[in-house]
Amino acid sequence: MPTTHRSPYPELARLLDAVIDDAVGEQRVVGTAVLVAHRGEVVYSRHAGWADREAGVPVAPGHVFRLASMTKPVVSAAALALVDRGALTLDTPVHEVLPYFRPRLADGSEPTITLRQLLAHTSGLSYGFLSPDNEPYRSAGVSDGGDASGITLTENLRRLAGVPLMFAPDSEWGYSLGTDVAGAMVEAVTGEPLADAVARLVTGPLGMTDTAFVATDPARLTAAYADPDRPGRPARRMAATDQVPMPFGGPIHYAPARATDPTAFPSGGMGMVGTAPDYLAFLEAVRTGGAPVLSPASAEAISTDAVPGHTVHVGPGMGFGLGFAVVRDQQDAGSVRPTGSYGWGGVYGTNAFVDPHADLSVVALTNTALEGLFGAYVTEVETAVYRGLDG
């Protein structure tokens, strides 16, 4: 099995190797890349399994994964970088930047939505997949950002603005397309396509050369797989258009080839691809105070609980910053990760987290949905990391 790893923590390597070997051997995960940095040093790095199982191509360090919602913190960082430069404020009303985006409540009133509410997911927007039948967004033709919709970002947001808000801004927390709207604000303020703005503000300064909205080298993009339709079977290869049911809500609509389509609109909530080393560089920048991308204040805002008065439907004991979910109470969350740690994942099977108190950053990318996001693999990796470092 292809592997590259080094570690001054032999127990960490032993435990993580066992977790990865089991997940790949049982075909719960087809391919994976796992990196662990402790006190600024990469102490574990492994690429294992298959980038393309049917073609017999193993995962190698250069392979690119679909980041899905791990895009959100990167685009949030781009927006916050503009806040640091004075081009935006967190309280800038969306309609001042995007005049066409003025969604209403069910009673017809038109509340003001701010950049802060978009990034914190308190805007009143939602996602189609959060309802069992994908309504009301499906009937309005709103894309969640992962399908082959064939429309522009502006058109998608116009459709989104035509659907009544789910709740009044700031009255609740609800995971949403807010970061897609924030991405359109970044485009409007900079006068650049979102891909160019994110490259200039975030990925370029951090040397994230393989992180973008389009995989420029399709041969390095891992194939997409999904959990089996029936227990006991291996993960299945995704079709050109596919659906995977969420543990809650409805199905997520996938079009894996979207990652190589330069005409697909840049979804600020779901659209990027990247490598594990690239994403680790981003996590480490946030963990160490934001430079050279963010001010210390913005690095703190993206990674600390911004909604302490709200129930965050990620799980009990969880909060949310302006880009990452935050462990609000470790005991309530039932997490191996301590209070104050933060991270996020994506529906193609990706995950990452930071424990700022332990100076720890971890990236665990897979090409298998949803095992790499919600499955046992995630907990197994986290548990192995903490036990290995303790050992």
Q: Which of the residues 45, 69, 76, 298 is marked catalytic?
A: 69
139 catalytic per annotation: no
Strands in 41-52's sheet, in edge-to-edge order, are: 57-58, 41-52, 31-38, 360-366, 350-355, 342-346, 325-327, 318-320
State residue 162 phi and psi, 5-degree precision.
Answer: -85, -5
Residue with tokens 């309609």: 95
Residue with tokens 């959990």: 227
N-term to C-term CA, the chain: 25
41-52 vs 225-226, strand pairing mode: unpaired
Note the residue count of the chain: 391
85: its two tokens: 């430069």
Helix (H) or strand (E) segment spanning residue 318: strand 318-320
Q: How far is CA 325 from CA 202, 304, 340, in A?
A: 20, 8, 10
Note whether 215 and 174 are within 8 A (CB).
no
Note whether 125 and 188 are within 8 A (CB).
no
Note whether 371 and 355 are within 8 A (CB).
no
Note whether 87 and 63 are within 8 A (CB).
no
Distance from C-alpha of 108 to C-alpha of 106, rounded to nearest angstrom: 5
Is 360 exposed, middle or buried, given 0-12, 13-18 or 19+ CB atoms closer than 10 A?
A: buried
255: nearest Cα among 245, 273, 240, 271: 240
Q: Which residues of 83-115 are buried (b: 16+ CB within 10 A; e: fewer)?
A: bbeeebebebbbeebbeebebeeeeeeebebbb
Handedness of CA 161, 167, 168, 170 (dihedral sign): negative
Return the active site residues: 69
